[in-house]
C-alpha cells in the first residue's frame, strides 16, 4: 500500500491538470450516510418521494420526507468537510486541480473551498423555483411551513438537486465531459460507479490518456477496469497521506 500511495503522489506531483470525481464515500467521514446498502437512507424512506412526477402530484407528502431527510437528518449546519475535502481544495488553490466533478449534493466541496465544481446532481443548499427558475440559498427559506414558495413569484420551490426523472443540468454535464477529456490525472473517490450517466465520465478521461487513481473502501466497477492505481481505504485518510508525499 505504501508503494501505491508513493506512486500516486509521484503521478499527481507531475500532473498539470488533475480532476477529482467524487461520490457518497467522499462525505461518509463527514457523517452523511450512503443512500443505498447498509445504513442507507432508502432502507428507511421510500425513494418515490424524490420522483419528480410524484413530487408535483403529492407535494406535501414529498416535502415532509425531504425536510426530514435533507434538512433535519443531514443538518447542513453541523456538516463539516473532512480532511479529504480539504486536500482537494488545497490542490485547487495550488493550481494543480482544475475542478471537482461531484455526484454529491451536500455542498461540502464548496464549503471546503473548491471554486470549480461541476455539481452533476445539483446541490441541496439551494432551492429553485419550479415556475420562474429563481434560485435561493436554502438557509434563507424557513421550512416551518411546507411546501415553501418562491419569494419572487410565489411558485413552488424544490431543492436544487436532481430528482428521479429529471435531466442532468446541461452546464454540469458538458463541463464534466470537457474536464474529463482534458486532464492528465483523474482521481475517482468514494463512488461505486453504479449511477448513470455520471458513471461514464471516468472512461472519457481514460480514453484520452489520463492516469486514473482510485480511492475506495471497496472495489468498484472501475477498479479492475480502468483504474491504474487502486488505493483501498478511507478517502479522509488516504488523500492526506498522498498530499504529504507530493513534491512542492
Cα separation, 212 vs 193, in Å, equals: 14
Question: Shortest distance, CB of residue 234 to ligand NAD, whole angstroms?
Answer: 4
* Nearest distance from C-beta of residue 87 to ligand NAD, angstroms: 13
Q: How far is the CB of 2 from ligand NAD (least distance, A)?
A: 18
| Cβ proximity to ligand NAD, 106 vs 243, nearer residue | 106
Identity of the residue, 71 or 150, whose beta carbon is nearer to ligand NAD in the bound complex: 71
The residue of the chain with the least Cβ separation from ligand NAD equals 25
Question: Considering the complex, what minimum distance in angstroms separates the CB of residue 108 from ligand NAD?
Answer: 7
Q: Which residues bind ligand NAD (CB under 6 A)?
A: 23-25, 27-29, 32, 34-36, 103-106, 121, 190-192, 194-195, 215-218, 220, 234-236
Q: Which of 85, 109, 118, 121 is catalytic?
A: 121
Smaller CB separation from ligand NAD, 150 or 231? 231
Smaller CB separation from ligand NAD, 62 or 216? 216
Q: Is 121 a catalytic residue?
A: yes
Q: Would you please indicate which residues are annotated as catalytic (active-site) residues?
A: 121
Amino acid at each position: 500500500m505504501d508503494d501505491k500511495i508513493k506512486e500516486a503522489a509521484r503521478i499527481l506531483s507531475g500532473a498539470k491538470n488533475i480532476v477529482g470525481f467524487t461520490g457518497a464515500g467522499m462525505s461518509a467521514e463527514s457523517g452523511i450516510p450512503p443512500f443505498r446498502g447498509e445504513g442507507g437512507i432508502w432502507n428507511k424512506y421510500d425513494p418515490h418521494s424524490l420522483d419528480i412526477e410524484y413530487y408535483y402530484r403529492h407535494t406535501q407528502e414529498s416535502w415532509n420526507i425531504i425536510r426530514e431527510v435533507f434538512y433535519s437528518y443531514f443538518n447542513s449546519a453541523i456538516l463539516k468537510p473532512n480532511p479529504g475535502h480539504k486536500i482537494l481544495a488545497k490542490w485547487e488553490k495550488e493550481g494543480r486541480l482544475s475542478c471537482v466533478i461531484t455526484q454529491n449534493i451536500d455542498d461540502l466541496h464548496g464549503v471546503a473551498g473548491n471554486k470549480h465544481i461541476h455539481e452533476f446532481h445539483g446541490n441541496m443548499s439551494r432551492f429553485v423555483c419550479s415556475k420562474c427558475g429563481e434560485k435561493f440559498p436554502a438557509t434563507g427559506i424557513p421550512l416551518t411551513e411546507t411546501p415553501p414558495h418562491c419569494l419572487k413569484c410565489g411558485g413552488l420551490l424544490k431543492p436544487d438537486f436532481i430528482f428521479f426523472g429529471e435531466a442532468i443540468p446541461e452546464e454540469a454535464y458538458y463541463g464534466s465531459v470537457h474536464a474529463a477529456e482534458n486532464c492528465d490525472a483523474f482521481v475517482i473517490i468514494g463512488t461505486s460507479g453504479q449511477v448513470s450517466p455520471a458513471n461514464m465520465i471516468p472512461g472519457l478521461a481514460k480514453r484520452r490518456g489520463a492516469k486514473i487513481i482510485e480511492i475506495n473502501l471497496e472495489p468498484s466497477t472501475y477498479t479492475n477496469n480502468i483504474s491504474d492505481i487502486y488505493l483501498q481505504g478511507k478517502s479522509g485518510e488516504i488523500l492526506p497521506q498522498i498530499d504529504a508525499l507530493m513534491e512542492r
